[in-house]
Chain A
Amino acid sequence: GDSVTQMEGPVTLSEEAFLTINCTYTATGYPSLFWYVQYPGEGLQLLLKATKADDKGSNKGFEATYRKETTSFHLEKGSVQVSDSAVYFCASGAGGSYIPTFGRGTSLIVHP
């Protein structure tokens, strides 16, 4: 079946450091790919998405590129802030009744 694998955390960085959270997927067909962010005590918010190969999703300084050849959708940010501390989930989905598949989440902790 479909699966999403993302790097285990926690990822601990100093403010202004470069961030990469790896995500790879297996899927039948061509799903859309997503990154969600969950701040402490809150629900999941869509951070960015890409719907086809070579698409780049971006939002709030975060970027991820849909790489079909490596089945990856790594999340990057050039300079993290303390306010970016949260749990990040990578997901794939094709909509409708197609059950979305989530990674296990990666906790990011950014120190001042």
Chain B
Amino acid sequence: GAVVSQHPSWVICKSGTSVKIECRSLDFQATTMFWYRQFPKQSLMLMATSNEGSKATYEQGVEKDKFLINHASLTLSTLTVTSAHPEDSSFYICSASSRDIGGNTIYFGEGSWLTVV
């Protein structure tokens, strides 16, 4: 079945630095991917919709200059957290939709734990 891979799974960075998280659809093309943030014991918070070849669409309250999203190809979207601060520490998850027999299915990456120290 369709697979979405996220890398890295775990990353620790110093405050003030930038970190990039990759999201790849391994066996299907995804014109649209979604980036979520999840705080401990809470639901998913949609951050932005990543569109291949165009600018991402950010949800209200999400700083586009801080969370840079690039969807350079049909199989890769990246999220870069710029000038990271400890409050950016969170679990980030991407998803993409694959057209399967009978309909569409949303697949998720494994998630990336970001810790800013």
Task: Give every chain B residue within 8 A of A32 (Cβ-Cβ).
Answer: 103-105
Task: State in angstroms the CA–CA spacing of A104 and B108 once bound together.
Answer: 16
Residue of B nearest to A6 (CB): B43
Query: A99-B49, A103-B43 given as contacts; is B109 within 8 A of A43 (CB)?
Result: yes
Interface string of B1-20 (1 = CB under 8 A from A): 00000100000000000000
Secondary structure call for the B interface: strand
B interface residues, how many (CB within 8 angstroms):
25
* Closest CB in chain B relative to A105 CB, distance in Å: 5
B97 near A93 with CB under 8 A, answer yes
A100 near B106 with CB under 8 A, answer yes
* Closest CB in chain B relative to A35 CB, distance in Å: 11
A97 near B111 with CB under 8 A, answer no
Interface string of A93-112 (1 = CB under 8 A from B): 11111111011110100000
A45 near B108 with CB under 8 A, answer yes
* Closest CB in chain A relative to B91 CB, distance in Å: 8
B108 near A97 with CB under 8 A, answer no
The stretch that binds B, out of A12-20, A46-54, A68-76, is: A46-54
Sample 25 A-B pairs with CB under 8 A, ordered by A number: A32-B104, A34-B105, A42-B110, A42-B111, A45-B108, A51-B103, A51-B104, A89-B43, A89-B44, A91-B106, A93-B104, A93-B106, A95-B99, A95-B106, A96-B31, A96-B32, A98-B97, A99-B34, A99-B46, A99-B49, A100-B95, A100-B106, A102-B43, A105-B43, A107-B41
